[in-house]
Amino acid sequence: MIGQQPLTAADCADPGRLMFLQHVGQYFAAEPRLERLPDKSACSICGFASARLWQTASGESSCLAQQTITRKRAARKSPDDPMMPPVHPAGKTNMGDGNMVVAGPYRALLITKLLPTRPVPPDVSIVFSNKGSIKAAKLDLLRNPPQPPFVVIVFGQKARFATEVTIDASRLYVNGPASQILDRSYLSRLLDIATRIGGSAIFDLIALRHRVAGGDPSESDPNLHRQDQQALLDLRSAGLITPAEFRMLPSPGTSEAAFLRQAIE
């Protein structure tokens, strides 16, 4: 029975998915009502050929961890609803609907509206999924990560992605359809700058630094170049940001800039 015996690569060979299943997902898992594939079938995601696999409606092979992510089931409508296995487990919600997990031996957290298949122990924190809940969890992870190892997944409707387990808290892997690698020291310094000068101002400076550094060849207007140089001089005179801080700003379009925008807006 799920959750009453150790989970192994026979349940999933992807290390992050298995860690999710071991520490959180097992309480939301159920034996798939799908055709069981023969032994030695290869997983459609990782290619592993020794896991228990089922065939999905689209013809792909899927393990227990992946089924726990993609299976639709009943969900709470309010954080006041009891977090207990439902009498009628069928529903239309899955992990891709605004869910995030931090799972490891030292912290187990799931942001979700989903109802479990069996009672969740008190050492697993369940946060009702609301606007801003994932943003808050990412910021808390940056400021106060658990002791490694752990996996972080921000689920989305596209569920075919590889995962990385965080083994050094200075460098966090956020897995999912839009994966991110977070340098905690660097991003903490960027957030400190943004707090000091204002959220919108830091993105203006990111764009300014990118243009001054010649990062956008299309911005070749001489007048704009002079304006940027004057803006840079004014910035230094005002003392809002040091030259070293200005140089460390990320380029637009990078994962660091994306995380900063997510954290501030």
- The pLDDT tens digits of the residues spanning 117-162 come to 999 999 999 999 999 999 999 999 999 999 999 999 999 999 999 9
Burial of residue 244 (CB within 10 Å: 0-12, 13-18, 19+) is: exposed
Question: How far is C-alpha 48 from the geometric centre of its chain's CA atoms?
Answer: 24
Mean pLDDT, to the nearest integer, of 184-198? 91
pLDDT digits (tens, 9 = 90+) for 12-30: 989 999 999 999 999 999 9
Residue 220 — very low, low, confident or very high, per pLDDT cuts 50/70/90?
low
Beta pairing partners, 166: 150
Residue that wins the pLDDT comparison between 236 and 157:
157
Given this model, what pLDDT does residue 5 score?
Answer: 54
pLDDT at 200: 82
Pairing of strands 100-103, 108-112: antiparallel
How far is the CA of 86 from the CAs of 25, 29, 145, 162, 195, in angstroms? 16, 13, 32, 31, 44
Instruction: Name the pLDDT band for 1 (thresholds 50, 70, 90).
Output: very low
List all residues 6 or more positions away from 214 whose beta carbon is below 8 Å from its beta carbon: none
Residues 6+ apart with CB under 8 A from 204: none
- Select the more confidently predicted residue: 7 or 24: 24
User: What mean pLDDT, rounded, does the chain reach?
Assistant: 89
Q: Mean pLDDT, to the nearest integer, of 39-55?
A: 91
Q: Which DSSP helix (H) or strand (E) runs through 181?
A: strand 180-183
The amino acid at 178: A
Would you say residue 115 has pLDDT above 70? yes
Residue whose token pair is 């069996």: 118
User: Rounded to an integer, what distance in angstroms lies between the CA atom of residue 210 and that of residue 202?
Assistant: 12
Residue 7 in this model has a pLDDT that exceeds 50:
yes
Give the whole-angstrom CA distance, residue 70 versus residue 17.
12
> 243 versus 28: which is more confidently predicted?
28
**Higher pLDDT, residue 122 or 212:** 122
pLDDT value for 2: 42
The model's pLDDT over 95-105, given as tens digits with 9 standing for 90+, comes to: 999 899 999 99
**To the nearest whole percent, how much of the chain has pLDDT over 70?**
91
Closest by CA position to 27, among listed 103, 137, 131, 138: 103
Output the pLDDT for position 4. Answer: 47
